[in-house]
């Protein structure tokens, strides 16, 4: 894990569904985060949370439960709320993709909390008072309310990509040296001439057709 990702805590405020808590733990693990905090869960989380965490079980097991939001933020220097709604105190909400690079830079010198509200109503203005910044996830206008664990996944995914911490996808492969390629083509041309497949006087007519960089 890069240092900057280690400085992010994802905080679930009064979550209702144990399945979502487990799925959130899995999402953190998928994206290289590990600090999950749970504030006053409305239902004790159980076997269903563990089942949904799958190999993110270690993140779930090390998650600390706090009685209120302020105590979950005791060691944080920057608190970021999430919202799907707009309104008087929510006008400054920024799209997560735009804000992620800045948050990752801030995380080099800060310990950051990203706070998610309960499934049914999200964060209220009461909790937003503790938040210095506000993020939102772009959606289609018809249905802006995301499942809690899905919102946690998108946040985690954006932070990981902004931190440049993902595994390499399809790493570039080193191509052959030019003299090696030419030597191979020349041997093939000799063989194809010997069996009469290419014309001896102009093997390139066939040999160079369709040659391209792979």
Q: What is the C-alpha separation between 86 and 139, in angstroms, rounded?
A: 13
Q: How many CA atoms are closer than 13 Å to the CA of 113, on its beta-carbon side?
A: 26
Q: Mind giving me the DSSP string for 170-204? A: SPPPPPPPHHHHHHHHHHHHHHHHHTTSS-TT-TH
Does the footprint of a second copy cover residue 118 (CB under 8 A)? no
By DSSP bridging, strand 35-39 and strand 94-95 are: unpaired
Cβ partners under 8 Å of residue 166, min gap 6: 32, 160
Minimum CB separation from a second copy for residue 172, in Å?
11
Minimum CB separation from a second copy for residue 145, in Å?
7
Stretch 39-68: interaction string toward a second copy, x if CB under 8 A: -------------x-xxx------------
Question: Do residues 97 and 158 touch, judged by C-beta distance below 8 A?
Answer: yes
Q: Which of residues 134-173 bind a second copy (CB under 8 A)?
A: 136-147, 149-150, 153-154, 157, 160-161, 165-167, 169-170, 173
Instruction: Using CB under 8 A, pick the residue from 97, 101, 185, 193 that binds a second copy.
Output: 97
Does the footprint of a second copy cover residue 76 (CB under 8 A)? no
- Binding-site ranges for a second copy (CB under 8 A): 1, 19, 23, 26-27, 29-32, 52, 54-56, 86, 91-95, 97, 136-147, 149-150, 153-154, 157, 160-161, 165-167, 169-170, 173
């Amino acid at each position: 894990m890069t240092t900057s990702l280690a400085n992010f805590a994802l905080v679930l405020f009064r979550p209702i569904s144990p399945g979502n808590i487990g799925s959130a733990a899995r999402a953190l693990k998928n994206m290289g985060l590990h600090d999950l905090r749970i504030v006053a869960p409305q239902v004790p989380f159980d076997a269903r949370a563990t089942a949904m965490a799958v190999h993110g079980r270690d993140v779930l097991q090390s998650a600390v439960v706090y009685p209120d939001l302020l105590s979950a933020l005791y060691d944080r220097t920057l608190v970021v709320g999430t919202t799907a709604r707009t309104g008087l105190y929510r006008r400054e909400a920024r799209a997560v993709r735009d804000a992620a690079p800045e948050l990752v830079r801030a995380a080099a010198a800060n310990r950051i909390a990203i706070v998610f509200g309960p499934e049914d109503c999200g964060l209220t203005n009461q909790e937003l008072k503790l938040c210095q910044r506000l993020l939102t996830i772009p959606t289609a206008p018809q249905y802006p309310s995301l499942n809690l664990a899905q919102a946690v996944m998108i946040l985690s995914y954006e932070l990981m990509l902004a931190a440049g911490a993902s595994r390499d996808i399809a790493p570039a492969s080193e191509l052959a040296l030019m003299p090696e390629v030419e030597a191979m083509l020349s041997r093939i041309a000799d063989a194809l001439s010997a069996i009469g497949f290419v014309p001896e006087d102009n093997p390139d007519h066939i040999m160079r057709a369709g040659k391209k960089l792979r």
